[in-house]
Structure 1
């Protein structure tokens, strides 16, 4: 499993790639491995306002369904429509082709609870 150093992470296994006032969100390689074969991704509606910690999406696999949470407050600016026809991208390329949604961040909203790759790895060790 890999956890790129240029990303931020959450304790609920989302990764965040910051780019100015936008944040691209997906699930970590740990989450993708735990889910196993993803068969469906319920994408959020573009334009939807979300709060940090709010459920935004659901990923279904042959093993389970898992909620995906907004790591930050903002408006859903884009979704990865490629996941509709090929949800396996989430397993095959979770940090690149398998991103789920992109947020336009609410100005001044706190960015609390985001973890570095080292901090995220420590949370995984605590789950074992």
Structure 2
């Protein structure tokens, strides 16, 4: 059985240095709730230091080092002008990679555009921002 009890003290202190010195000298034990809360805060801090993939732009980032507006993305499908079909971004990436691997010249490469802003796929930045 855990013998952690809460202790209370009332101090009326004019100087903050004296107050902090008294608290350091007494060394109150932390309650279980305080220990759990500190562990959760530390776990969140460590989790924010890990590399993650943004759900919008699919780029790797570290949450603690990312500021608002770093993510640019498109929220629509890609249109293949050569075939006259709409495809998703994964399919567009496959088409573009295949063209690069085949060393196609610029005029032979597939003409892919985003339906949301008519930007060229793989060349223009996203038209929307996400934090």
Which TM class, normalised by the smaller chain length? under 0.3
Higher gyration radius (CA):
2
TM-score normalised to the size of structure 2? Answer: 0.19
TM-score normalised to the size of structure 1? Answer: 0.20
Higher helix share: 2
Higher strand share: 1
